[in-house]
């Protein structure tokens, strides 16, 4: 096998590994879609925009931004659907962020994911418990926060898979 083919195979394997890291980062709450977008930009620049044209980069960037916006909308809608007030929705969002930050150093790899789920649920439940003065009717808001996190993660995984599949098809 000539050296240029070996180099191409090595770069393809390296690209696939980076794509895998980006995809794994999504459910962990580690900005995986932005990682995939950065990989697409590197591939575009390295190939003079032949493998990934500018229009494709712009579509990917729009999908990433749309995914971030929809993540908040879906998560908030699910908390609201399960009976939370507007303050409960805000508490779920803030709780998810705090939980992800606190969970990361406590539990390597999965800590940010578990922390974000626990933080979102706990934030919604605590605010609703304070508002309603009863724990039992506050619990559905926590479940809504968990359902919202799952649905929004699935949405972002779909966007990440679309980007990764496009890059694999264009570079292999």
pLDDT (tens, 9 = 90+) of the chain, 172 residues, equals 676 677 778 888 889 999 999 998 888 777 899 999 999 999 999 889 999 999 999 999 999 999 989 988 898 888 889 888 889 888 988 998 898 888 878 877 678 888 888 999 999 999 999 988 888 888 889 898 989 888 988 999 999 999 999 999 998 8
Query: The tokens 């390295």 sit on which residue?
Result: 46
CB 52 within 8 A of CB 167: yes
Burial class (CB in 10 A: 0-12, 13-18, 19+), 26: buried
CA distance 76 to 90: 8
Q: Degrees (nearest 5) of the Cα angle 123, 114, 68?
A: 75
Burial class (CB in 10 A: 0-12, 13-18, 19+), 1: exposed
- The DSSP string of 65-113 is HHHHHHHHHHHHHHHHHTT--HHHHHHHHHHHHHHHHHHHHHSTTTHHH
pLDDT of 35: 94
pLDDT of 1: 60
CA distance 111 to 106: 6
CA dihedral 41, 43, 49, 54 (to 10 degrees): -30
């Amino acid at each position: 096998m000539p050296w240029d083919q070996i180099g191409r195979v090595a770069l393809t394997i390296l690209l696939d590994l980076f794509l895998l890291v980006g995809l794994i980062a999504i459910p962990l709450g580690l900005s995986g879609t932005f990682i995939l977008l950065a990989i697409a930009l590197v591939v575009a620049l390295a190939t003079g925009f032949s493998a990934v044209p500018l229009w494709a980069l712009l579509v990917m960037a729009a999908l990433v931004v749309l995914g971030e916006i929809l993540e908040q909308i879906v998560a908030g809608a699910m908390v609201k659907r399960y009976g939370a007030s507007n303050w409960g929705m805000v508490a779920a969002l803030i709780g998810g962020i705090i939980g992800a930050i606190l969970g990361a150093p406590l539990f390597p790899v999965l800590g940010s994911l578990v922390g974000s789920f626990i933080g979102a649920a706990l934030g919604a439940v605590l605010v609703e418990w304070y508002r309603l003065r009863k724990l039992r009717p506050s619990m559905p808001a926590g479940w809504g926060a968990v359902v919202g996190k799952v649905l929004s993660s699935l949405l972002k995984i779909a966007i990440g898979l679309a980007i990764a599949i496009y890059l694999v098809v264009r570079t292999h």
